[in-house]
Structure 1
């Protein structure tokens, strides 16, 4: 099982993977660490990611970008009209959602933003699976903190259609903060003052600032502010608008009326912006922009800053708002961490540094920090890895209220309640209590629609509570509903149940003990405060001698069915879209395999033609050579004419025909190579055996020489050994002396 974190960006996506040595950012099929967030459609298949980027200029009308900024929105949203300026494909309405109209397989089709995102996530899943050589299922996916319930539900639906199990939909800056905090070993303890860090994330199209407090093993997001239309693409567009005027005046070329020229200028402007971040001035040069006209220009950094002056004036607004909501001052901030590609722009760094009056920190990877944080979060939530405990407390960004119809039996009843306020900790659960005699409905909506992005519908969902009825005494049923804002930031009424006041006996505590009849006491089963603790009355002592009293407590008696209506797509539609996605993915694979076989056939023809007269020459007769060459010429002519566009099976058949004809020649060559290999192996074995024999002979000679060199025993020792038992042999010279005497 794999552990994957995905930073789903407006321009590109990064994939983080948890491994034993930490977090790695994996590369795609062309070895890039980021994959363009594009989906394109062609006459035979789709192109996703790098493939979409490669053919973008030649297929602008069918290439869709800004996927993250379109999902979960309606076509009439003003923000969608802004995205049309940055999209060459035609955006349209599809079943109340925004989508794109494209030409696919030779006919016009419409796809919702949810379908487009699911197609893209399928590609990301495939990229991760190939790199890890494992199936990918559990993921944590990033999203902007300003996403609403509808947008978050659409992301969850898209992930499910792509076959991913979404463990958490995580806010971008929260993921960055987790990546920062979990690797720091010097965070203050619970008793100490927390470390306060502002995370500034300025990416391709979005600017977010979050104030986060760190203690050992936990982070608390205190506030988040954002500018949804501030990012690198605004700098790019300012440059393109400048060049459009200059080229029209200098070269008489109007790129505003030429989509391809505009796209090429936009790509050149993006590169120029990056160069200007490190240099005072830089040139731009585009060959054959249109009608064989080459264009050139020079831009200074000061000129670019002047072009985006209105944009730069907005830099401090989210910072001020974030500090105000966190009830902090500039002096209370310990560090300012910068992430996002656009934070490399000098004027932005200078302005933010001046605002806080301190040096900015760049300890995190500016492009990959979110992906790493998501991978850490996935590792924490997944049972596969053991990770140091680190609690993440995010916050609610929009207040949520519940509304309901007034009960006819309670004329003075309030009909609305703000359940989750802005700044409340998330995830969070609240218990709502209703007194009813019949089934009822309640709706959830955002309490302040003016805070929502664009013109989003403040409606979140409708929840119908069934099975409610009056009791035998025609009294109210006490209904308890569990409203939960989950890890994804999505609201649901998860369950409902009803309780009854039941009189139970409990022992009276001795003096000094906590009285179970206190208001703070909770029913062990329901975890609900006693309704009437003061109504407890003493009773006679039981056999064990302890006094008891009767107390009224609320006891859970049964469940209440709840039917839910939200912006999530229904199960039938989800299954249909999943089936369609799988079918299109299979079609893409078939087309890719067909192209691979075609390229394989072409390469085989060229390779064999060369080898017939060189490598295979001595293994083929003249007649065989002639037949093979003729077949190769015929196959080449066919390949570039009627075989230009055919099926995978036909290419395989053509390959087999050539191999059948050239097979005997190739086999003779291979037999010779094998014979030579065997001869070499035999010679090597003989040489090895010879070396072993020499080493054995050398070893035996050394052993014999060692034995010969050992000292022999002296004669005296030998005579002493031969003496009879009990007698001692005299030395030889003494014996001679006795004879002489």
Structure 2
């Protein structure tokens, strides 16, 4: 293989994933075909007892082997096992998920007669590695560098978990980019050179994937600048929720018709999800009207509308000021030259070329100004959230605030970092904490601590605290996936080589 490397863009999706790269000779992005010529790869991992299967081969045997087929792993990334929504998902999955250390979810997969434990990062890395191999086969060169997309509403821990998955797959993650922003790049690529393109357009991205939902409002300028105004969404809302609702409805109808409950039969439930059911010699089919479908899923449609309205409000923009709406996701199709399943990887590939230093005009002119999706702050005395960086702040960015002692002769000052929109920190996402000791004796309010929050272009946070009177300093780097050590990553690397 050639020693020259080409950066790739990867859309690591809940149900399907995709990989692409910019080609100078064609002056465009190309999506790489995978096994059997498909442009997208199912985000599935399975064991057939002898081999670990990834992609199409894993998905194809899900009805025969439901308990050893893993999917929806993106919903596990950076999550806590005790999360209520994750517990609801676990009830609908047929593969086993247990509680690991520090409340992390662990996937148990029987392989070669032994129950093996995998972190969500390890499973995701197998999917990324499959995409990496497809790119190498197409390019006939080693692939090292990648831009990986994440939902706009991914938390810091979820972003860190994604970076770890990339590392485990042997990739250098050049940048994490929000999925709707990547789709906006794909949308804007053929607009920048259009002489009729106005100097500025307001574009609303509606990204409904298999497991996540994102909205983003952007301003796209003719000179190639893409400025994100506001983002919103739900990392636990997508097409899989429609599937679950329809499966539950079919189970109820089957029980009413046959007086049999198939909800505990893993194979029957897996077959039902792919549009048919065979249980105890009984075939099952059901016609669902569009009206019935919309009624069953009305709660999800209402959530979509709520997120759209919140995004418009955050951007301080009226509906009539939106020039274009771009639909992204497996159930939508973007007109013209962009396909909904491929748009996110397409935009990520273009950014990868930009980061690599490509001098092609359309690539070189691209300027991306993204925002942080969730507020970041510290815990105040009494448990309130003190926000340093509000949501929808352009990134990269750095913000500072002064904290003071609250007790007489206080000897230490603790900085606890949270992410979220609630007033009380207990309702937000805990990211980490540190304590600065050796505070000089003084009355309350006398000693001051300068707290600095810095977010990089990936949306990942670094926190520092400096005691003003002494200059003593401490840093908090939010470690990958919450608390993974170098040893943890090395252990995972050995595991994914199986």
Structure-1-length-normalised TM-score: 0.58
Q: After TM superposition, give the deviation of residue 119 of structure 1 in Å.
A: 2.4
Q: Distance in 1 between matches of 2:424 and 2:86?
A: 17
Which position in structure 2 is the counterpart of 1:6?
Answer: 10
The question of 1:337 aligning with 2:326 is answered yes
Does structure 1 conserve the Cα–Cα contact (< 8 Å) formed by 2:421 and 2:428? no
Q: Distance in 1 between matches of 2:83 and 2:350?
A: 35
Distance change (3 Å), C-alpha of 1:568 and 1:140: farther
Q: Distance in 1 between matches of 2:169 and 2:386?
A: 37
The question of 1:578 aligning with 2:483 is answered no
Distance change (3 Å), C-alpha of 1:385 and 1:25: farther
Q: Note the 1:669-684 alignment, pairs <5 A.
A: none
The question of 1:379 aligning with 2:353 is answered yes
Q: Note the 1:257-336 alignment, pairs <5 A.
A: 257-268=264-275, 289-336=278-325
Which position in structure 2 is the counterpart of 1:73?
Answer: 79
Distance change (3 Å), C-alpha of 1:369 and 1:467: farther
Q: Note the 1:90-101 alignment, pairs <5 A.
A: 90-95=96-101, 96-101=103-108
Q: Note the 1:153-168 alignment, pairs <5 A.
A: 153-168=160-175
Does structure 1 conserve the Cα–Cα contact (< 8 Å) formed by 2:415 and 2:435? yes
Q: Distance in 2 between matches of 1:46 and 1:81?
A: 26
- For residues 294-342 of structure 1, give each alpha carbon's deviation from its aligned partner in whole angstroms, at most 9, with x where no partner exists: 3344343333333333433444212211111111111111111111123
Which position in structure 1 is the counterpart of 2:457?
Answer: 487
Q: Distance in 1 between matches of 2:323 and 2:147?
A: 29
Q: Distance in 1 between matches of 2:200 and 2:358?
A: 31
Q: Distance in 1 between matches of 2:386 and 2:302?
A: 38
Does structure 2 conserve the Cα–Cα contact (< 8 Å) formed by 1:464 and 1:562? no
Q: After TM superposition, give the deviation of residue 581 of structure 1 in Å.
A: 2.1
In the alignment of these two chains, the number of paired residues is: 477
Q: Distance in 2 between matches of 1:491 and 1:141?
A: 18
Secondary structure at the residue paired with 2:331?
helix
Q: After TM superposition, give the deviation of residue 100 of structure 1 in Å.
A: 1.3
- For residues 585-621 of structure 1, give each alpha carbon's deviation from its aligned partner in whole angstroms, at most 9, with x where no partner exists: xxxxxxxxxxxxxxxxxxxxxxxxxxxxxxxxxxxxx
Q: Distance in 2 between matches of 1:4 and 1:212?
A: 24
Greater share of strand residues, 1 or 2?
Answer: 2
Q: Is there any run of 5+ residues in structure 2 with no aligned partner, and where?
A: none
Secondary structure at the residue paired with 1:23?
strand
Distance change (3 Å), C-alpha of 1:12 and 1:456: farther
Q: Is there any run of 5+ residues in structure 1 with no aligned partner, and where?
A: 269-284, 345-359, 406-414, 471-475, 501-557, 585-741
Q: Distance in 2 between matches of 1:188 and 1:214?
A: 14
Distance change (3 Å), C-alpha of 1:496 and 1:120: farther
Q: After TM superposition, give the deviation of residue 494 of structure 1 in Å.
A: 7.2
Which position in structure 2 is the counterpart of 1:38?
Answer: 44
Does structure 2 conserve the Cα–Cα contact (< 8 Å) formed by 1:150 and 1:568? no
Distance change (3 Å), C-alpha of 1:419 and 1:573: same
Secondary structure at the residue paired with 1:142?
strand
Which position in structure 2 is the counterpart of 1:370?
Answer: 344
* Equivalent position to 1:50, from 36, 53, 56: 56
Q: After TM superposition, give the deviation of residue 416 of structure 1 in Å.
A: 8.3
Does structure 1 conserve the Cα–Cα contact (< 8 Å) formed by 2:452 and 2:463? yes
Which position in structure 2 is the counterpart of 1:389?
Answer: 365
- For residues 208-234 of structure 1, give each alpha carbon's deviation from its aligned partner in whole angstroms, at most 9, with x where no partner exists: 221111222211111122244443223
Q: Distance in 2 between matches of 1:140 and 1:42?
A: 32
Q: After TM superposition, give the deviation of residue 134 of structure 1 in Å.
A: 1.2
Q: Note the 1:556-571 alignment, pairs <5 A.
A: 562=475, 564=477, 566=479, 567-571=482-486
Q: Distance in 2 between matches of 1:385 and 1:103?
A: 49
The question of 1:59 aligning with 2:65 is answered yes
Q: Distance in 2 between matches of 1:496 and 1:129?
A: 47
Q: Distance in 2 between matches of 1:87 and 1:416?
A: 35
Which position in structure 1 is the counterpart of 2:212?
Answer: 206
Distance change (3 Å), C-alpha of 1:77 and 1:428: same
- For residues 679-711 of structure 1, give each alpha carbon's deviation from its aligned partner in whole angstroms, at most 9, with x where no partner exists: xxxxxxxxxxxxxxxxxxxxxxxxxxxxxxxxx
Which position in structure 1 is the counterpart of 2:392?
Answer: 423
Greater share of helix residues, 1 or 2?
Answer: 1
Q: Distance in 1 between matches of 2:286 and 2:164?
A: 46
Distance change (3 Å), C-alpha of 1:481 and 1:380: farther
Which position in structure 1 is the counterpart of 2:153?
Answer: 146
Does structure 2 conserve the Cα–Cα contact (< 8 Å) formed by 1:338 and 1:362? no
* 568-577 or 425-434, larger mean C-alpha shift: 425-434
Q: Distance in 2 between matches of 1:17 and 1:210?
A: 24
The question of 1:241 aligning with 2:275 is answered no
Q: After TM superposition, give the deviation of residue 238 of structure 1 in Å.
A: 3.3
Q: After TM superposition, give the deviation of residue 58 of structure 1 in Å.
A: 1.9
The question of 1:399 aligning with 2:372 is answered no
Structure with max Cα Rg: 1
Q: After TM superposition, give the deviation of residue 365 of structure 1 in Å.
A: 1.5
Q: Distance in 1 between matches of 2:248 and 2:429?
A: 36
Distance change (3 Å), C-alpha of 1:443 and 1:64: same
Does structure 2 conserve the Cα–Cα contact (< 8 Å) formed by 1:149 and 1:491? yes
Distance change (3 Å), C-alpha of 1:65 and 1:315: same
Distance change (3 Å), C-alpha of 1:3 and 1:467: farther
Does structure 2 conserve the Cα–Cα contact (< 8 Å) formed by 1:463 and 1:493? no
Q: Distance in 1 between matches of 2:112 and 2:427?
A: 34
Q: Note the 1:444-593 alignment, pairs <5 A.
A: 444-446=417-419, 448-449=421-422, 458-463=429-434, 483-493=453-463, 562=475, 564=477, 566=479, 567-582=482-497, 584=498
Does structure 2 conserve the Cα–Cα contact (< 8 Å) formed by 1:94 and 1:111? no
Q: After TM superposition, give the deviation of residue 431 of structure 1 in Å.
A: 5.2
